[in-house]
Amino acid sequence: MIAVLLTIAGSYGLASIPFGLVITRLMGLGDLRQIGSGNIGATNVLRTGNKFAAFMTLVLDIGKGAVAVLITASLTADPVLISLAAVFSVIGHCFPIWLGFNGGKGVATGIGVIIALHPLSGLAMIGIWLITAALFRISSLAAICAYGLTPIVIYYLAAEDSRLAFATASALIAVLSISRHHSNIKRLLNGTEPKIGK
């Protein structure tokens, strides 16, 4: 039980750091929550016009998810605990205590989590995102497609002893992230969702 609580608290705490908000403030770009969609992720940072800030946000948001999972994996081989680290990393990004539990959509952090959880599935997830983004130029659609397909990919690619835990974690992350895209889904359906960079 102590291991479970430490995993949850550590993963949540690390991933709850709102790097997008911190970076934009340090670079004098204003309050990210008052810009564009108001989201704290890299896509909204890009709307400030500062590509470097967006890149740094992307790297750090991916990194915090990956680091939380890798630290857990270095301490235990239990796939359930590693999966808990993955899920609570994304929860930490989406619902950070520092911002009144109103955070991002978990896209970049989720990518980092999946890469650390199962690298080949992480690469497949990135591939799905890139292909969808290249075809439609819509970040939210790319994220929804990538998250929706990743649980299937990881189930078939992961080792038998970790397959169920990792696929379940991936599915929970997918549900969380896609549910955070509810406003994007509405705009996608009525054709008003902005394209990448706009």
- Per-10-residue mean pLDDT, the chain, length 198: 92 94 90 81 85 94 96 95 97 92 89 96 94 92 94 95 96 94 90 79
Distance, CA of 88 to CA of 83 (rounded, Å): 9
Per-residue pLDDT at 153: 96
Domain extent, residue 186, equals: 2-190
Q: Judge whether 198 lies within some domain.
A: no
Q: Judge whether 85 lies within some domain.
A: yes
One-letter amino acid at 70 equals: L
Distance, CA of 188 to CA of 170 (rounded, Å): 24
User: What is the Cα gyration radius of the chain?
Assistant: 16
Per-residue pLDDT at 75: 94
| DSSP designation for 193 | P
Distance, CA of 119 to CA of 137 (rounded, Å): 25
User: H-type helices in the chain, by residue range?
Assistant: 2-15, 19-26, 42-46, 51-75, 79-94, 107-117, 119-136, 139-157, 160-179, 182-190
- The 3-state DSSP class for residue 109 equals helix
Q: Judge whether 197 lies within some domain.
A: no
Based on the number of CB atoms within 10 Å of its own CB, is 21 exposed (0-12), middle (13-18) or buried (19 or more)? buried
Q: Judge whether 195 lies within some domain.
A: no
Name the pTM for this structure: 0.89
Q: How far is CA 189 from CA 67, 182, 184, in A?
A: 36, 11, 9
175-189: buried (b, 16+ CB within 10 Å) or exposed (e) per residue?
A: ebbbebbeebeeebe
Per-residue pLDDT at 31: 84
Per-residue pLDDT at 188: 92
Residues in the chain: 198
Q: Judge whether 196 lies within some domain.
A: no
Per-residue pLDDT at 37: 75
Per-residue pLDDT at 35: 82
Q: Judge whether 71 lies within some domain.
A: yes
Tally of domains in the chain: 1
Q: Judge whether 170 lies within some domain.
A: yes
CB-CB contact of 57 with 73 (8 Å): no
